Amino acid sequence: MLRKTKFSISYGSYPYRFARAGLEAIETIRNREQLDSYYLFYVIQGEFEARLNHPQAAIKYFRKSLQLVTMKSEKRFIAKKIQDLEDVYPSGREYFSRSLP
């Protein structure tokens, strides 16, 4: 669950370095184009970007996953993630709570 704090979205104790490492690991996947039609491929990238406090990138990935998903429950789940990000960042600007390693 997203929580709006004074400076950013808080995701609890999920460490920044793991989200960054996750995105870097995705970059190393061979034949990634085979995953282009897999909606969870974009969900996980959106989740990592959101946890890195990059709402615009996260929303872009979540919207791409919405185009691919067929299950109504999953569509609602992803749409809720987009709505949560848009509620916290209504102007579409990216905010950074602090400089992270």
Q: Where are the alpha helices (DSSP H) in 1-101?
A: 16-27, 39-51, 55-68, 72-88
- The pLDDT profile of the chain, 101 residues, written as one tens digit per residue, is 445 443 344 555 456 778 988 999 999 999 989 999 999 999 999 999 998 989 999 999 999 999 999 999 999 999 999 999 998 877 544 444 433 33
Count of CB atoms situated within 10 Å of the CB of 54: 20
For the chain, which domains are there?
Answer: 12-88 (1.25.40)
